[in-house]
Structure 1
Amino acid sequence: MRTAVATGTPIAPLRDRVQTPDAATAYAIQEANTKHWLGEGRRLVGRKIGATSKAVQGMLGLDQPDYGMLFADMAFGDGETIPVSRVSQPKVEGEIAFFLKDDLDGDRLTLADVLHSIDYAVAAIEIVGSRIADWNIKIVDTVADNASSGLYVLGSQPQPLTAFDPILCGMVLSIRGEPASTGAGVACLGNPLVATLWLAKKMVEVGRPLKKGDTILSGALGPLTPVKGGDVVELRINGLGSVRCRFEGEA
């Protein structure tokens, strides 16, 4: 997997090359890669939640979401230009990003703990990618591939939770000025805050609890959309404003 990351050349599915093609194996591979990258000097700044819709879970053979690591070198700012070659087989989706002002650690975490710990939210574009050829993925493939992570773009209009409705907020993601994906907060496990609670509990369970200052990409509000060089992507979420990026070059 690390070779595929380094070369940008997709590989055959991993599920055909491991003895036990299950979630535990996939997360063990992800954790080994995380430790490797931390050892290489990358900085862990948050987490992403994937597979928050029942349709995607069914496709991957999951009964719950999955998660991946966010590193500092994956982040772009509102309006930046992104080399499309940075992500293998790139697709974009609209999300709500939460930022923590307190740790989310300890047993028996509740939604109240999540509400207390979130400092603010912004609109965010996640640029997912797959190091697996032709996006031919199941649970082992995507989780071992850091939940098919690529890059992400954060909006520059931070808002408190009281400024928008996480469940009913509408989302429109446009490419070159044309709507390409629509959705709402309810598409993300029924509530992006519930998705965040799931993540917080899972991170305590695996020994990587969420910390003050972490960024959380809480899950897609609508379908994935492929992108290519020259595409301008803009995301608008009711109550959270917009975020925009441009892709340049060739994959």
Structure 2
Amino acid sequence: MRSAEIREAAAALLGAHRSGTPIPPLSTTYPGATIADAYRIQQEQVRSWTEAGDEVRGHKIGLVSAAIRRQMGVHEPDYGLLTASMFHPEHLPVPARRFIQPRIEPEIAFVLDAPLRGPGVTVGDARRAVRHLLPALEIVDSRIRDWKISIVDTIADNASSGAAILGGTPIDPADVDLRSASCALLKNGTIAETGTGAAVLGTPFNALAWLANAVGALGVTLEAGQVVLSGSITRTVAIAPGDRVTADFPGIGRVTAVLAGEDPP
């Protein structure tokens, strides 16, 4: 894609954020777009947000489980940036008007104690770089109409990012086996999905190492203090205003998100 088309595509996505009206798939509008083009579109949006005063606070990994890739019709993970405005306190209502077609998923969040920069980051390196982990919920959203996304569409759309809600009790990663860690996702008190950490590329630590190497190829470092959402343990679940969703990780903790119809007072 030409630079003008990159800017045009980013502007269309930014417009969808503002208006709440989704756009047609970019992969249809720009049929020759590549994954590299999609990341350039993503970066153009992040640049716009940071110039407006938002701040990058971490990264998110998407499409890590086989179930999610089948659900979305794609075949490889992707990643996006997390900005300060995307984080919401647990239990406080998250305004539904910030989303177009939201879904939610349970994840393990890593808080880094040391920087990670690929290439060459191993799973052991990733483990040693983690200060603590937290149970998390990610609200994913798509600015692409009807979630008709290819890998190009979701990458360009900042990996379909929406919001992050973190649990409040830090866990030492040495105290839990994330590969076998289980999770139940409850929507309005009823179990909607279950899964284990093995769904996330075998273990969420594999996802963290993958991310460090993927962004390292672009000269990007995962910095100490940043949050990394490692990817969904279950399939995503659609949510609507009034829904209350809890991710229950036995031995790790619980985290709850509430989707409100308007900004809380």
Can you list the C-alpha shifts for 1:8-32, whole angstroms capped at 9, x where unaligned?
1111111111152321111111111
Tell me which residue corresponds to 1:37. Answer: 49
Pairwise mapping of residues 1-251 of structure 1 onto structure 2 (< 5 A)? 1-58=13-70, 62-249=74-261
Q: Secondary structure at the match of 2:138?
A: strand
Q: Secondary structure at the match of 2:82?
A: strand
- For 1:182 and 1:131, the matched residues in 2 are separated by 27
1:54: Cα distance to partner?
A: 2.7
Q: Contact 1:165–1:239 at 8 Å: present in 2 too?
A: no
1:60: Cα distance to partner?
A: 5.2
- For 2:250 and 2:117, the matched residues in 1 are separated by 30
Can you list the C-alpha shifts for 1:64-119, whole angstroms capped at 9, x where unaligned?
31001000100012211111111220000000000001110254222221111100
Q: Secondary structure at the match of 1:198?
A: helix
- For 2:229 and 2:98, the matched residues in 1 are separated by 19
- For 2:100 and 2:142, the matched residues in 1 are separated by 6
Q: Contact 2:106–2:247 at 8 Å: present in 1 too?
A: yes
AA paired with 1:181?
A: E
Structure 1: which 5+ runs fail to align?
none
AA paired with 2:66?
A: K
Can you list the C-alpha shifts for 1:172-217, whole angstroms capped at 9, x where unaligned?
0111101111111001111100011000111111122100001000
**Compared CA separation, residues 176 and 62, structure 1 to 2 (3 A):** closer
State the identity %.
38
Q: Contact 1:164–1:238 at 8 Å: present in 2 too?
A: no
- For 2:172 and 2:51, the matched residues in 1 are separated by 35
Structure 2: which 5+ runs fail to align?
1-12
4+ runs deviating over 6 angstroms:
none
Q: Secondary structure at the match of 1:147?
A: helix
AA paired with 1:212?
A: A
Q: Secondary structure at the match of 2:245?
A: strand
- For 2:19 and 2:181, the matched residues in 1 are separated by 39
- For 1:111 and 1:189, the matched residues in 2 are separated by 12
1:151: Cα distance to partner?
A: 0.3
Compute the TM-score of the two structures, normalised by the length of structure 2.
0.90
Can you list the C-alpha shifts for 1:111-161, whole angstroms capped at 9, x where unaligned?
221111100001000000000111111111111000000001000011001
- For 2:88 and 2:72, the matched residues in 1 are separated by 28
- For 2:66 and 2:259, the matched residues in 1 are separated by 30
- For 1:20 and 1:207, the matched residues in 2 are separated by 25
Tell me which residue corresponds to 2:8. Answer: none
The more displaced of 178-187 and 78-87 is 78-87
Q: Contact 1:87–1:151 at 8 Å: present in 2 too?
A: no
Q: Secondary structure at the match of 2:217?
A: helix
AA paired with 2:95?
A: P
**Compared CA separation, residues 37 and 135, structure 1 to 2 (3 A):** same
Q: Contact 2:107–2:135 at 8 Å: present in 1 too?
A: yes
Q: Contact 2:111–2:226 at 8 Å: present in 1 too?
A: yes
**Compared CA separation, residues 165 and 12, structure 1 to 2 (3 A):** same
- For 2:251 and 2:88, the matched residues in 1 are separated by 21
AA paired with 1:48?
A: K
Can you list the C-alpha shifts for 1:22-46, whole angstroms capped at 9, x where unaligned?
2111111111111221111110000
